[in-house]
Structure 1
Amino acid sequence: MANTAKGKVCVTGASGFIASWLVKRLLESGYHVLGTVRDPGNGKKVGHLWGLEGAKERLQLVRADLLEEGSFDDAVMACEGVFHTASPVVTGSNSKEEMLDSAINGTMNVLRSCKKNPSLKRVVLTSSSSTVRIKDEADLPPNVLLDESSWSSIEFCESLQIWYAVAKILAEKAAWEFAGEHRIDLVTVLPTFVVGPTLSPELGPTASDVLGLFQGETGKFTTYGRMGYVHIDDVARCHMLAYEAAGARGRYICSAAVLDCGDLAALLARRFPAYPVPRSLPRAYGEQSYGFDTSKARALGLAEFKGVEEMFDDAVASFIGHGHLPAAEERRHA
C-alpha cells in the first residue's frame, strides 16, 4: 500500500513521456503531485494522467508555460520538491536560436520560481547523456567509460549542428550556476535514449523514433550512431531516488546498455521478425567504443537496470496497445 504520508511535489511538463511515468510512480509511492501542463483542459493531452492510480485523490494539474516568466511561481510555492522534466517542443522548423533560447530560458524560469520558495527541499532536473558523450574522436579513447565529470564539446556539437545537445549542455550548466548562487539543492539526472511503454496514446519524438524503426525507417537511428539505452521505469526510479536520498549530489548518468545502431538493429530484427526492422545500419561516425560508468546511480539505489530486450518488448506491446503497430500475428497474415 502507498505511503500517503509523503509530501507534495511539482512535476513540470507532466503530460510528457518521461514526466507522465514519473507522475505514475510518485502517485503509487504516496506523493501528492502538482503537475504543470500548458493546457490542463485538453483531455486529449492529459487524459492518460487522470487514469493513473491515486490521480483522483492526489493529482492536481495547473497551467504553466516554460517561456512565461513567473508562470511556475504558484506551483512551486505549493510544493516541497520540484522535478523539472519539461522541455520545449522540438520540431524540424525550430531554428538554432529558438531551441537554445527555449531550453535555457525555460530552465531559468523554473529555477527563478524555485528560488522564491524558502521551504523547497530539492530540485531534480532532467538533463541528458548528450551532455556527456559527444566529443571529437581524439577526446574519446577506445573503450573509455564516461562518467558524470565528462561534458560534451559544445564546439563539436555545433560543427555537427546537434542543437539539442548544445541546448541541454547550456541549460544544465546555467542551472548549476544559478543553483550555486542561490543555494538551491539541485541534482541532475542524465538518461540515455529512453525506451519503454508510453502512457499517452500520442507519441512524443523519442517514442516516434522507436516506432519508426519497427516500420522499416532507418534515418534516425543511423544518425544516432552508438547510443546508450534505458527503460523509462528506471529513469523514473532514478529521479525519485535522486530526490529522496539525503546524500544525493551532483549528476547521475542513467543507462542500462550502450550499443552501436547496427548491433541494436540486428538484435531487434532477430527478436521481432514479423516487423520490417532493418537488419543492419551504417556507421555514421566510424568506430566508437565508449561506455558509461553508472556506478554512481547504482550506489544511489539503482542496483539493477532493466535490459534492452525488456525495454523494447514493453515499447512494442505499448505501440500495439495504442494502435500504432499491428500485432505480430496480424502482420504475418497480412
Structure 2
Amino acid sequence: MERSRSIVCVTGASGYIGSILVEKLLERGHTVHATLRKLGDEKKTGLLKKIPGADTKLKLFEADIYNSSSFESAIEGCNSIFLTATPFQHKANSTQFKDTSEASLDAIQTIIRLCEKSGTVKRIIYTGSILAASSHKEDGTGFSGCIDESCWTPLNLTSPYPSNFELAYTSSKALSEKALLDYNHHEKGSSFEVVSLSIGLVGGETILSSLPGSVSVIVSPLTGVTMCYTQLKMFQALLGSVPLVHVDDVCESLIFCMEKQSMAGRFICVARGGYRQGQA
C-alpha cells in the first residue's frame, strides 16, 4: 500500500542526494523533517526553503552523526526514515570516536533506538554505497564473480590507488549497512523494516550551488583533476568497473522502497554500462 502524504525524515538533507530527495518527497505531498548539521548555515537552509512546498511541508532540524541523540526531534512522529547523511571528515580533536566508522556505528545504534522509541517508524531506508559491495576475493587475487547483493567488500584489501578518504568511507558504509540490516533479524523481533540501497557513483543534475563530488569524479577524465581521477581509478580497481547511476533514479528508488507495503533487505541500484577496466 502506498504511504501517501506520510511524515518522513531525511538526514543529510542539504547534500546532493538528500536535496533532490526532499524535492521529490515534497512534490508528492509528504511532510519532510530534514536534518542539517548547522541550522545557522543560511546557504544550505536557504536552498531547501526555496523548494516548492517547503513553506508548508518542510521542517528543518539540526542534527549531527557525531552527536547522534540530536536526531530524536527529527525522528519523532515520522513513518519512514531516509538515512543519506554520512560523515566525510573525522573530527579527531573534538570527539570520543576514533574514526568515521565508529561514529557512524554509534549513530546507527542510536537511530535504531530512537525509531523504536518513536512508535511510529515503520521503515528505515539506508543509502548505501556500491563500494561496500565488491566481489573482490579476500586474498586480493581477483574477483569471485559478478557483483550482487551477497557481496561485501573485504576491508583489509590494499589498493594500487590508495586514498585514506575512500578507504575510511568504504569501511564506514559497509559496517553501518551491516549493522542496520542485522536489525531485520533481531532475536527479540523488529519494530520496523530496514531497506538498504547500494548505489553506484551518482551523476545528473543538482540543485546545489556547487558541483557535487561524485559528479566531479565522473567527469574527471575530461577535466583532468588529479584527485578526482585517482578516486575514479580506485573505484575501478575495487569493483572491476565503475557502476554509474542517475540521481533521479536513486531518489525514485528510495521513494519506491518507502511506498512498498512490505520491503526489507539489501538491493543494488546502478545503471547498465559505466566505465569498465581499461576505460577510465
Would you call these one fold, judging by a TM-score over 0.5? yes
Separation in 1 of the partners of 2:115 and 2:142?
Answer: 36
1:211 is displaced (CA, Å) by 5.3
Match of 2:47 in 1: 48
1:20 is displaced (CA, Å) by 0.7
Cα deviation code 1:284-315 (max 9, x no counterpart) = xxxxxxxxxxxxxxxxxxxxxxxxxxxxxxxx
For the Cα contact (< 8 Å) 1:4–1:31, is it kept in 2? no
For the Cα contact (< 8 Å) 1:134–1:157, is it kept in 2? no
Match of 2:195 in 1: 187
Cα deviation code 1:52-78 (max 9, x no counterpart) = 121112111111111213211121112
Aligned pairs (5 A) from 1:198-213? 198-210=206-218, 212-213=220-221
Q: Residue type matched to 1:229 in 2? A: L
For the Cα contact (< 8 Å) 2:199–2:268, is it kept in 1? yes
SS at match of 1:71: helix
Separation in 2 of the partners of 1:157 and 1:54?
Answer: 47
Cα deviation code 1:107-159 (max 9, x no counterpart) = 22322211211221111011111111152355624xx3321122121222699
Separation in 2 of the partners of 1:73 and 1:111?
Answer: 11
Separation in 1 of the partners of 2:143 and 2:234?
Answer: 18
1:261 is displaced (CA, Å) by 6.2
Structure 1 residues 43 and 208: alpha-carbon distance in aligned structure 2, compared to 1, 3 A threshold: farther
Are 1:140 and 2:143 an aligned pair?
A: yes
Are 1:245 and 2:260 an aligned pair?
A: yes
SS at match of 2:69: coil
> Aligned to 2:276, which of 239, 245, 260?
260
**Higher RCO, 1 vs 2 (CA within 8 Å, ≥6 residues apart):** 2
SS at match of 2:86: coil
Match of 1:24 in 2: 23
For the Cα contact (< 8 Å) 2:125–2:257, is it kept in 1? yes
1:97 is displaced (CA, Å) by 3.8
SS at match of 1:239: helix
Larger radius of gyration: 1
SS at match of 1:9: strand
Structure 1 residues 140 and 5: alpha-carbon distance in aligned structure 2, compared to 1, 3 A threshold: closer
Separation in 2 of the partners of 1:179 and 1:5?
Answer: 24
Structure 1 residues 256 and 64: alpha-carbon distance in aligned structure 2, compared to 1, 3 A threshold: same
- The range that moved more, 68-77 or 233-242, is 68-77
Q: Residue type matched to 2:149 in 1? A: E
For the Cα contact (< 8 Å) 2:204–2:247, is it kept in 1? yes
For the Cα contact (< 8 Å) 2:81–2:123, is it kept in 1? yes
Match of 1:267 in 2: none
Separation in 1 of the partners of 2:211 and 2:106?
Answer: 25
TM norm structure 2: 0.82
Match of 2:175 in 1: 170
Structure 1 residues 69 and 167: alpha-carbon distance in aligned structure 2, compared to 1, 3 A threshold: closer
Q: Residue type matched to 2:266 in 1? A: R
Q: Residue type matched to 2:110 in 1? A: N
Match of 1:110 in 2: 111
For the Cα contact (< 8 Å) 1:224–1:261, is it kept in 2? no
1:252 is displaced (CA, Å) by 1.0
SS at match of 1:113: helix
For the Cα contact (< 8 Å) 1:193–1:230, is it kept in 2? yes
Separation in 2 of the partners of 1:157 and 1:248?
Answer: 35
Match of 1:230 in 2: 245
Structure 1 residues 113 and 32: alpha-carbon distance in aligned structure 2, compared to 1, 3 A threshold: same
Structure 1 residues 177 and 200: alpha-carbon distance in aligned structure 2, compared to 1, 3 A threshold: same
Separation in 2 of the partners of 1:157 and 1:172?
Answer: 21
Percent of counterpart pairs with the same letter?
Answer: 29
Q: Residue type matched to 1:168 in 2? A: K
For the Cα contact (< 8 Å) 1:229–1:256, is it kept in 2? yes
Cα deviation code 1:230-273 (max 9, x no counterpart) = 0000000110111111232211100002422653xxxxxxxxxx
Aligned pairs (5 A) from 1:148-167? 148-156=149-157, 162-167=167-172
Aligned length: 259
Structure 1: runs of 5+ lacking an equivalent = 264-280, 282-334
1:210 is displaced (CA, Å) by 3.7
Are 1:126 and 2:119 an aligned pair?
A: no
SS at match of 1:189: strand
Q: Residue type matched to 1:228 in 2? A: P
